[in-house]
Chain A
Amino acid sequence: MIRNYIKTAFRNIRRNWSYAFLNVFGLTLGIASCLVIFLIVRNELNYDNYAKADRIYRVTLNAIDFNSNVSLAIAPKMRNDFPELRVAQVMYSHDVMVKVDNKRFRDNDFAIADEHLPQIFDFKWIAGDPKTALAEPNSLVLNETLAKKYFGDANPMGRVINVENQINAKVTGVIKDQPGNRSVPLQMMLSFESIRKQVNLKEFWNIGGGFFTFVLLPPNYPVQRLQARMPAFLKKNWALNPKEVRLPIQPLRDIHFDQRYINNVITPVSRDTYYALFGVALLIIITACINFVNLATAQAIRRAKEVGVRKVLGASRTQLVKQFLGETSVLVFIALVLGVSLAVFFLSVAGGWLNIKTDATQLAQPVVIGWIGGVTFAVILIAGLYPAFVQSAFQPVDSLKNIAGRMSKGFTLRKGLVVAQFAISQILIVGTLIVAHQMDYFENEDLGFNKESVVSFYIPDGKKTDMLKNELLNNPGVEQVTLSNGAPSYNNNFGPFQAPDRGLTKDDVTETKQVDENYIDMFSLKMLAGEKITKVDPKDTVQNVVVNQTLIEKLGILNPDKAVGEHFVLNGQRANIIGVLQDFQSESKHKKRRACVLIYRPGNFFMASVKIRPGAINKTIERIGKSWAGLFPDNLFDYQFLDDHIASFYTQEQKVYTAFKLFSGIAILIGCLGLYGLIMFAAAQRTKEIGIRKVLGAPIASIITLFSKEFVVLIAIAFIIAAPLGYYMMNNWLSNYAYHITIGPWTFVLAVIASIIIAVITIAYQTIKAALVNPVKSLRSE
């Protein structure tokens, strides 16, 4: 019996291959998309799944705002006061320069880590002893990739690597590459002992970017107990008021998602984003299932006779339902095989494009196989059961007379499903448009400074700053040069400020930009009142500052003109306001803009920013590189365009946006396949009607209208559903950002126009074909 079902199924596929193709193709795309999305989401939601992850916490700082970085003083004191804990400290840096056998490299994900770290994070050790590898000064642990890069197939153990022209360290361990989903990704670790003598281990407020402290709790040790002891710990060691300073103990598994700790070292993402992506996967599968149901019920008209004959010959309803389910299963299994292959292919070829650090071998895991099985089973039931019942319900007398298909029941449902598909595409179009607009807003709009044609690079040696500046100014491709501790989007220096005269007696935090006299002009920062920064004698201790609008508002001054001449306390010293700037976007738009102070302080000019004349940008950069290398022969020239730096704030968003574009496109394509199939059947079914209309004198245009009209009505109904839903969902998403666009009506107008255009293109071919058929032919065929 089952053999018989499968045989019939294959024959049906062969006979109606276009129907089978539309279904299988749509479902293949659907299954592949779902799998890829599942792997992405699973990978993201499983961030930091170290073996002991449930007992690992990060000690963070909550003084004025939440800070993931803490002082190096905390770890030793915690070890002393809480001997039951294992405490490790890490100084993480996105990149590092190393020299191996006179070859220089710049590589990512470097950390200075103590010997306790390997006891907390379970690295997989290929060589070296996890207990001792980081215990001695000048020891270095590499991952497999870097070991291979630096030493090829030779044994890396014991080899010497120079780090940042400062430390010669010996390789004492090699670990396997970490998976992509690690908040603190590590490729290379230098032992903390190597720098112990150079760092301040006492001062609580000495905090550097990427200074993390991790603790491992003993089994069954409630974190609340540790948290409860922190106020006393702060008071005892640094005499700090626990009401003003807290040390929140953050679970490791929350780091990737905790929006309170947005900063430039590690950007957390919102879980919602991944739930949204998951929602898209669901919509894709629903669209593919709708295709199945629609095409199968449309087919039912064709197959009514067969059902009638089978019933006359004694088939029971159950037998027919089984037969149709069998046919659906065959199609689903074909799609499954193709879909899994497509997903594997996609991950291996295009995974990097979506920035997915996961690979196809993940597909072999039991949970993934279970997921695939579940999806398959659900699709067979959802897509197969309803058509099976509709088809098997035909009364043999009706179906033999071929009137069954004209019953309105199936068609109304089909219209409903088409409306659902249109609504899904419209929601996805609206979503994609809004994400695109927000992305553009992030990177290009409302920044408050000019970012075009600007490159920035660090100055390794402060003594040669003036020489570098001269070389740059002599470069004909360079328009302007400014020196600072960071271009507008590089924010790395924060300090406390007060204004006791104005009632601000408690410390607030301000960003401090130490800049030269060209900074404001070169970045086109907008002055609201007063003067710009000017060059002052380094010996002059008077602090003349230019502040932003947010800062004067904190001082309670609303009119910028009135702020000029006022003063406040910056880093414990009087600061005179000589000018006021409009706020500019120095951090990502996730965050509210903060107070900012510009001050002239040449001792801290670590970065040069150069505005390049349009035209020969590459050539100019090449010349800059040569001058730079001449001055700093021991370093690698590494520059960044300002717009790339700004874009790097939004890499997570960019990744999700790319995924949204791709998967929305796929969902819409699948919907189009279904629509194409439907119109194909409608055209076939209405051949006679078209023939009669043409005999009676209908022009081709009126026949095309006849078909299109119906779909335009359905698109309109879909819009009524999609518009409020899309608005609600996207508004929710936008509220994640401190600065975002407002959703305008044009987005929806565009979505409707897009869905009409897509529908018209989809149905055009079949409709025109049907309209052009010679009426004699279509009438004869009846």
Chain B
Amino acid sequence: MEAPMIKITDLEKFYRTEEVETIALNKLSIEVKTGEFVAIMGPSGCGKSTLLNILGMLDDPDEGSYVFNGVEVAHFTERKRADLRKHNIGFVFQSFNLIDELTVFENVELPLIYTGVPSAERVKRVEEVLDKMQIMHRRNHYPQQLSGGQQQRVAIARAVVNKPKLILADEPTGNLDSSNGNDVMELLTDLNEQGTTIIMVTHSEHDARYSHRIIRLLDGQTVVENIMI
């Protein structure tokens, strides 16, 4: 059997203040295979975002193991994590997180700059992906000049321009109306069908139905996994 892309075992994450210790993830174990589309659901504060941050190597766990593509990364240094991240993972956020000072084109180009892709190649790839996301005509606009749906399409374009193996989406339709939300979900589905693994945190049962599998969290633990048919 093919090894999973992601395998986390007994993962723990605590948040401490002076008086209280909050357990965000409590001995959580999950596997995600290459090419899967997984939705993570659960009420506010159940640990969804913490899990996504750890999966995206933006944050490190306190306890447990995280194996990514066969490599144990739980205690990697920030530099190593950043290196692994920029070549393998794309992010889509609820609030888009585009850089206001950069144009659509430049926002999408940014990951390519940071991975050292030469200029001519960058132009080619950015144009390709903008074309695919149908926002080529907006390439010289700034984020604030775009609608929410367009901004999210730019964010997705930016997430995929580096051809990542994994896309992490944190409530990608949370700030969108239903029509724009559906467009975004179609885009993600297309990407998944072309082979990209997708893990998506969502509150929406409707969006979750686009996935292959739903992992429901409560108090930092898996309560149930639904396999979608």
Contacts and interface: CB of A to CB of B under 8 A. Distances in A.
Given A312-B56, A314-B114, A397-B59, A8 B82 contact: no
Contacts of B53: 397
B11 to A, nearest CB: 16
Interface in B133-158: 158
Contacts of A395: 58-59
Contacts of A312: 56, 58, 85, 91, 97
A172 B162 CA distance: 84
A414 to B, nearest CB: 24
B85 A310 contact: no
B101 A313 contact: no
Nearest to B93: A400
B32 interface: no
Contacts of B111: 313-314
Interface residues of A, number: 23
Contact of B99 (A310, A319, A400): A310
A396 interface: yes
A225 interface: no
Interface in B191-221: none
Interface string A1-13: 1001001100110
A289 B106 CA distance: 31
A213 B158 CA distance: 83
A313 B59 contact: no
Which residue, A4, A395, A396, has most C-beta atoms of chain B within 10 A? A396
Interface stretch (A187-195, A276-284, A301-309, A725-733): A301-309
B115 A306 contact: no
A319 B110 CA distance: 12
Contacts of A619: none
B101 A11 contact: yes
B132 to A, nearest CB: 19
Given A11-B101, A12-B101, A15-B101, A313 B110 contact: yes
Contact of A306 (B82, B85, B99, B158): B99
A750 interface: no
A316 B114 contact: yes
Interface string B81-116: 010011100010100011111100010001101110
A306 B110 CA distance: 12
Contacts of A400: 58, 93, 97
Contacts of A305: 97
B60 to A, nearest CB: 10
A446 to B, nearest CB: 64
A15 B101 CA distance: 8
Where chain A touches its partner, the secondary structure class is helix
A738 interface: no
B66 to A, nearest CB: 15
A397 B58 contact: yes
Interface string A288-331: 00000000000000000110111111111001000000000000
Interface in A521-556: none
Contacts of A310: 99, 110, 114
B16 interface: no
A477 B150 CA distance: 89
B124 interface: no
Interface string B44-64: 000000000100101100000
A315 B78 CA distance: 12
A306 B102 CA distance: 11
B85 to A, nearest CB: 7
B117 to A, nearest CB: 11
Contacts of B113: 1, 4
A728 B110 CA distance: 55
Nearest to A309: B97
Most A-side CB within 10 Å, residue of B58, B79, B101: B101
A11 B143 CA distance: 13
Contacts of A315: 114
B105 to A, nearest CB: 12
Nearest to A319: B114
A16 to B, nearest CB: 10
B110 to A, nearest CB: 5
B97 A396 contact: no
Contact of B86 (A11, A308, A313): A313
Contacts of B158: 313
B93 A316 contact: no
Nearest to B158: A313
Contact of A314 (B85, B93, B100, B101): B85
B97 A314 contact: no
Interface of A: 1, 4, 7-8, 11-12, 15, 305-306, 308-316, 319, 395-397, 400
Interface of B: 53, 56, 58-59, 79, 82, 85-87, 91, 93, 97-102, 106, 110-111, 113-115, 158, 162
14 contacts: A4-B113, A7-B106, A8-B102, A11-B102, A15-B101, A306-B100, A308-B97, A309-B97, A310-B99, A310-B114, A313-B110, A314-B86, A397-B53, A397-B58
